[in-house]
Structure 1
Amino acid sequence: MSDVQFARIETPSHGALSLEYRWIHPERASAPLLVFLHEGLGSVAMWKDWPQQLCDAGGYRGLVYSRNGYGRSTPRPHDEKWPVDFMHRQAREVLPAFLDAVGVGPEQADRVWLVGHSDGGSISLLFCAAFPDRIAGAVVLAPHLFVEDVSIESIARTKTVYETTDLRSKLGRYHDDVDSAFWGWNDIWLNPAFRDWNVVGAVAAITKPLLAIQGENDEYGTMAQMDSIAAHVPHAKVVKLPDCGHSPHRDAPAPLGEAIVAFIAAHAQRRAASAA
């Protein structure tokens, strides 16, 4: 993986931002480009080697970035709370500006695939619905479409762990401002106003290929999330992984990678057949 770089962007909601990113196999200019969107406590570094492994397996180019508030990107001011629509703002303001800044424009849409995990999966879904002309499709891992009791309970437990164990120091390896990352995520998810957050209506507008994957032992969401995608995006392929928790890329990397590579290859074959 190449060295970290920084993109400077400006958005209506966040103002000027510096976002860290890394390219994987940038020389593969004509290959599918996977854009990786991390979880609620993730960053470029927290993905570890999985994006590289997936790009190696499928012959892809990759782009991994940290959202503002995470990793080495512009931190969240400590007196600022994420709003209820924070994922909408990431999908509709930050991600389009970031892609433009690093040279991934609409002319590359037929090669761009979003790969989002958890909150990053939700942001991917919202981007797919809002900007279908900018992507070929998306892969979402354990996305949230609405808030469940199990999500709140697990996030509340994580708050206790953060305050009473060495979790803060462990996460500090991956974030320049670990409190910015943790409390930005934790505060909004535990905010009573967020209980009514729901993106099912937006997701129903998705027309591009969609692969949705979740572990059957996910501690942050039930299979109601996958069932909702199946019901509202009938063309989506839904995969439920056994013996897998909230992070399929850590718990079941082999079947996950196989499913993603097969899905993107099948889409390429359909496009080639259609063109012929």
Structure 2
Amino acid sequence: MSVILKHEHYLEVSGEKIFYQHLIPQASETKKPTILFLHDAIGSVSQWRGFPDQLVKRLGYPAIVYDRYGYGRSQASSQKRDKNYLHQEALERLPAFLEALGLEEIILFGHSDGGSIAIIFAGQVPRNIHLHGVITEAAHVFVEEITLAGIREIVELAKQSDFLKKLAKFHGDKTDYLFKAWHKTWLSSEFRNWNIEDYLPQITCPALMIQGEDDEYGTQKQVDAIVSQVQGPRQKLMIPGCAHVPHYQAEEEVLKAVGAFLLWRDKILKP
């Protein structure tokens, strides 16, 4: 297991101030692509907890963990959100962030909204980027009723508990805007036909799709749709007794699965 160096930075990208962590394994025999972590709909760098650190220590890959615009320690946003907000993140903001970092060799690891962003990006990879692989947890490619029911439940929970107060520990005064932008977008009538399956046949890099069998925001139909339509080598992992956050609720299993996937990726791509 490697010792890691952790550096925290702010980077201005297209006029937006973005916070990120750079995790660097001290002992790495070969140059490896950087794993870029994409958080969920109301997530942040801090809400990954120690998972990225553990993955970097165990596997020896460098990583970037960042707060998207409007989240966590990045600049606040007052931008009106529409049904294409995930496309904007994947096709505009993420490429601009990578360019500002000077990063070209990457593996994407996306959770929930971050998984959907990873899928869109992987289906339309910029020419200057070498995407070595994509890993998703609880990604959505279309809207299901279970997703909407789960969001409605969280909205009610926020009214009756200190949920938003706890969320504010990560997002500060951005919390109210961020929470409303998320649930109002997903619960809007125009979002019902949101679908990103068109991007799946364009994905040719190795892919690992992870989902908890008890995910309260999506069914196995999401994973099956992805696995059946991507064109590159792929693996699927459904985790029993696990809900929407596999890297927290089944951390050890996810760490092992990612390690095995990356070894498999190296093997099948070896010249």
**Cα displacement (A) at 1:226:** 0.8
Give matches, 1:106-145, under 5 Å: 109=105, 112-131=106-125, 133=127, 134=129, 135-145=131-141
* Unaligned ranges ≥5, structure 2: none
Moved more, 19-28 or 146-155: 19-28
TM-score, normalised by the number of residues in structure 2: 0.92
Deviant stretches of 4+, over 6 Å = none
Tell me the distance in 2 between the aligned counterparts of 1:31 and 1:232: 28
Q: Does the residue aligned with 2:202 lie in a helix, a strand or coil?
A: coil
Asked if structure 1 preserves the Cα contact closer than 8 Å seen for 2:7 and 2:23, the reply is: no
Matching of residue 201 in structure 1 with residue 198 in structure 2: yes
Q: Cα deviations across residues 118-140 of structure 1 (Å, max 9, x unaligned)?
A: 00000000000110752111100
Question: In 2, distance between residues paired with 1:26 and 1:100?
Answer: 22
- How many Å apart are 1:259 and its aligned residue? 0.6
Worse-superposed segment, 59-68 or 21-30: 21-30
Cα distance in structure 2, aligned partners of 1:3 and 1:169: 28
Query: Following the alignment from structure 1 to structure 2, what is the Cα–Cα distance between the partners of residues 251 and 91?
Result: 27
Partner of 2:209: 212
Matched residue count: 261
2:40 is matched with which residue?
39
Q: Which moved more, 1:129-138 or 1:240-249?
A: 129-138
Distance 1:184 1:43 in 2: 15
Q: How far 1:26 moved relative to its partner?
A: 6.4
Specify the code of the residue in structure 1 equivalent to 2:250.
Answer: A
SS at match of 2:192: helix
Give SS of 1:213's match: strand
Task: Note the 1:173-192 alignment, pairs <5 A.
Answer: 173-176=169-172, 177-192=174-189
- 1:56 Cα deviation (Å)? 0.8
Whether the 8 Å contact between 2:25 and 2:57 is mirrored in structure 1 is no
Counterpart contact for 2:40–2:112, Cα < 8 Å: yes
Residue identity over aligned pairs, in percent, reads 35
Alignment RMSD (CA, Å): 1.5
**TM-score if structure 1 supplies the norm length?**
0.90
Q: Which residue of 2 aligns with 1:157?
A: 153
Q: Which residue of 2 aligns with 1:246?
A: 244
SS in 2 for 1:2: strand
SS at structure 2 position matched to 1:136: strand
Contact 1:9–1:17 under 8 Å retained in 2: yes
**Is residue 2:53 matched to residue 1:58?**
no
Stretch deviating more after TM superposition (251-260 or 23-32): 23-32
1:83 Cα deviation (Å)?
0.9
Q: Give me the whole-angstrom Cα distance separating, in 2, the residues matched to 1:201 and 1:50.
A: 31
Deviations 1:206-265 (A, max 9, x none): 111110010000000000001101221253211111110000001101111111111111
In 1, Cα distance between equivalents of 2:74 and 2:159 = 24
Gap regions ≥5 residues in structure 1: 11-15
User: CA shift at 1:3, angstroms?
Assistant: 4.2
- Residue number among 215, 221, 225 corresponding to 1:224 in the alignment: 221
> Contact 2:25–2:56 at 8 Å: present in 1 too?
no
